[in-house]
Chains A and B, each alone.
Chain A
Amino acid sequence: MLRDAMIIFRYQLRLLLREPVWIIITMIQPLLYLALFAPLLEPIAKTQGFPPGDAWQVFVPGLLIQLGIFGSMFVGFGIIAEVRWGTIERMRVTPASRLGLLLGRVLRDTLVLLLQAALLTVIAVAFGLRVPLAGALVAVAIVGLLGVALSSLSYAAGLWLKSEDALAPLLNMVSVPVLLLSGILLPMEFAPPWLRHLASANPFSHVVDGSRAAFRGDYGASSLTIGLCAAAGLAVVGLLIAKRTFERESA
């Protein structure tokens, strides 16, 4: 199974590196937020109720999670193309493990995401972010777990729907509430109680809180433990759902 995963990983990575421009393009969105939105937060950071840490320590972890969400959730489009080309079916007739075929793809996506997250953090430091190295690494690892979860789910959705026209509205429908209820753009500390309760049901808001704790260097914070568990839980659930979809006969 791992051997199959590595074969697919190397194959998919080679294909991606042939068009490296896409790796940069997915990074443009968070970079724009960094340059054009983060300065707005500096005055707000002095407001009462703003979470601990300076504006950058609060905002950049959110951006990392946003990169994790938007960098991973569209990979399902790729698998729809592969279904159409017939490459998925061709590989399903080989003795290769179905889980291996999935993992190789998820691994590729996660590696790319980790590199992007590391790069984004380095650029943010140039903008004025101050973050302990260990904290940054923990946050990037959380983003990696999120990438595993979301690319798996996106592949499952792509295989299930088999149509770009159906996948695009589904992803929009899911991503907007996830984003708004995660406190990525503005901290949920500002939210009225009902909205805060709603947000606490969103695992991504815990993931964001956990990354912020890591960026502050507050490794004992319960929010960090909860955030890590939420990210790991999402990764496991995502992989299980995608595994079942890949093993379904007509997928």
Chain B
Amino acid sequence: MITARGLARTFKTRTATVEAVRGLDLDVAAGEIVGLLGPNGAGKTTTQRMLATLLAPTAGTATVAGCDLRADPVGVRRQLGYVSQAGGTNPGAKVDEELITQGQLYGLTAATAATRARALCASLDLADLGDRIIGKLSGGQRRRLDIALGLVHQPKLVFLDEPSTGLDPHSRANLWSHIRGLRDQAGATILLTTHYLDEADALCDRIFIIDHGVIVASGTPAELKRRISGDLVTFEVDDVERATAVLRDHPEARDVTAVERGLRVTVDRGEAQALPLMRALDDAGVKVGSLHIAHPSLDDVFLTLTGRSLRE
């Protein structure tokens, strides 16, 4: 659905040249939910705006929804639904007006656009708000309207820029299920940007971690977490010294650290390897009081890859 090679964008300011995106390669298959994860200023939005034809790349090529980005931008626009970070609604307009006008700009008749608007409002919890002035909507309602505006022409490909920014936890969870529904029911492909780890983790089939305009890692959330740090298994034991000696030589333990009243072992896959390790301890006569398996968060991944925390 998306193939990008060597995509780059530099901005010239008065004093310097900023390389916002530096040679990105990106592949997204149809029906995937793919996330661009990274801190603010990493180049996520610039990447998305280039792929959405809003910004001309300084270098590189891309095919989006079967159309060449440079040669056929209108072809890309026709099949793409783009929801920017700030949204894009006129606070003086009515919900229906905005949705129907948007549909008409995509070539729908007023009647078709009105039918779509009604269906979208119903599915995004905006039913009965069609006549409401947009300035009077709540933050969550307005964000859902932004998303409805990106979907009114039933695009095969949807770009969401920081979809859940500014939403309360309840609205976020709702939004996530809508996004999943887009893929599961409508078969859409989704490329979203986020700097929320839980969002990338909960929503995305695949993640590209971006920092300083380059992809530093990519994979499924589970792969990324496993590849970078492995799982942490913590045993509470009566004899830490003996336990350490036993596990240090164990082939499946990558790293063993003594902690308070126990030890922490880094392994590839915690669930599969915890029991064999415990059996080894038991065979050596070490009593195991408790066992705890922790999966590293994407924040740990990011920290390992870039030396910085996403939460900065």
The answer to whether B92 touches A19 (Cβ under 8 A) is: yes
Taken residue by residue from 94 to 128, chain B's Cβ proximity to chain A (1 for < 8 Å, 0 otherwise) reads as 00010001101111000000000000000000000
Q: Is B66 an interface residue (CB 8 A)?
A: no
Q: A86-B84, A93-B53 are in contact. Are A15 and B77 (CB under 8 A)?
A: no
The answer to whether B105 touches A85 (Cβ under 8 A) is: no
The total of chain A residues at the interface (CB under 8 A) is: 23
The answer to whether A87 touches B90 (Cβ under 8 A) is: yes
Q: Which residues of A contact B93 (CB under 8 A)?
A: 11, 15
The answer to whether B97 touches A89 (Cβ under 8 A) is: no
For the complex, give the distance between the alpha carbons of A249 and B77 in Å: 14
Q: Is B87 an interface residue (CB 8 A)?
A: yes
Q: Which residues of A contact B105 (CB under 8 A)?
A: 4, 7, 91, 94-96
Q: Is B258 an interface residue (CB 8 A)?
A: no
Q: Which residues of B contact A19 (CB under 8 A)?
A: 92
A93 and chain B: residue at smallest CB distance: B82
For the complex, give the distance between the alpha carbons of A7 and B108 in Å: 11
Q: Which residues of B contact A96 (CB under 8 A)?
A: 105-106
Q: Is B78 an interface residue (CB 8 A)?
A: yes
Which of B78, B80, B89 lies in contact with A87, CB distance below 8 A? B89
The answer to whether A89 touches B77 (Cβ under 8 A) is: no
A100 and chain B: residue at smallest CB distance: B105
For the complex, give the distance between the alpha carbons of A96 and B73 in Å: 11
The answer to whether B97 touches A86 (Cβ under 8 A) is: no
Q: Which residues of B contact A90 (CB under 8 A)?
A: 82, 84, 87-89, 102, 149
Q: Which residues of A contact B56 (CB under 8 A)?
A: 249
A81 and chain B: residue at smallest CB distance: B90
The answer to whether A7 touches B104 (Cβ under 8 A) is: yes
Closest beta carbon of chain B to A83's beta carbon, Å: 10
The answer to whether B92 touches A94 (Cβ under 8 A) is: no
Taken residue by residue from 75 to 87, chain B's Cβ proximity to chain A (1 for < 8 Å, 0 otherwise) reads as 0011010101011
The answer to whether A95 touches B88 (Cβ under 8 A) is: no
The answer to whether A86 touches B92 (Cβ under 8 A) is: no
The answer to whether B55 touches A95 (Cβ under 8 A) is: no
Q: Is B29 an interface residue (CB 8 A)?
A: no
Q: Which residues of A contact B91 (CB under 8 A)?
A: 85
For the complex, give the distance between the alpha carbons of A90 and B90 in Å: 11
Q: A93-B80, A94-B106, A95-B78 are in contact. Are A18 and B92 (CB under 8 A)?
A: yes
B56 and chain A: residue at smallest CB distance: A249
Q: Is B74 an interface residue (CB 8 A)?
A: yes
For the complex, give the distance between the alpha carbons of A167 and B124 in Å: 39
For the complex, give the distance between the alpha carbons of A89 and B82 in Å: 10
For the complex, give the distance between the alpha carbons of A4 and B74 in Å: 14
Q: A7-B101, A11-B101 are in contact. Are A93 and B89 (CB under 8 A)?
A: no
B92 and chain A: residue at smallest CB distance: A15
Q: Is A14 an interface residue (CB 8 A)?
A: yes
Q: Is A92 an interface residue (CB 8 A)?
A: yes
Q: Is A189 an interface residue (CB 8 A)?
A: no
Q: Is B54 an interface residue (CB 8 A)?
A: yes
The answer to whether B54 touches A92 (Cβ under 8 A) is: yes
Q: A87-B89, A93-B54 are in contact. Are A14 and B97 (CB under 8 A)?
A: yes
Q: Which of A84-120 contact B (CB under 8 A)?
A: 85-96
Q: Is B52 an interface residue (CB 8 A)?
A: yes
Q: Is A82 an interface residue (CB 8 A)?
A: yes
Taken residue by residue from 134 to 176, chain B's Cβ proximity to chain A (1 for < 8 Å, 0 otherwise) reads as 0000000000000001000000000000000000000000000
Closest beta carbon of chain A to B279's beta carbon, Å: 58
Q: Which residues of A contact B53 (CB under 8 A)?
A: 93
Most chain B beta-carbon contacts within 10 A, residue among A88, A94, A96, A250: A94
B52 and chain A: residue at smallest CB distance: A93
- B residues adjacent to A (C-beta < 8 A): 52-56, 74, 77-78, 80, 82, 84, 86-93, 97, 101-102, 104-107, 149
**New A-B pairs, 7, CB < 8 Å, besides A86-B89, A90-B82, A95-B74:** A4-B105, A8-B101, A15-B97, A18-B92, A93-B82, A94-B106, A95-B78
- A residues adjacent to B (C-beta < 8 A): 4, 7-8, 11, 14-15, 18-19, 82, 85-96, 249-250
- By Cβ-Cβ distance, the 9 closest A-B pairs, closest first, are A86-B88, A90-B88, A94-B105, A96-B105, A93-B82, A11-B101, A7-B104, A95-B77, A95-B78
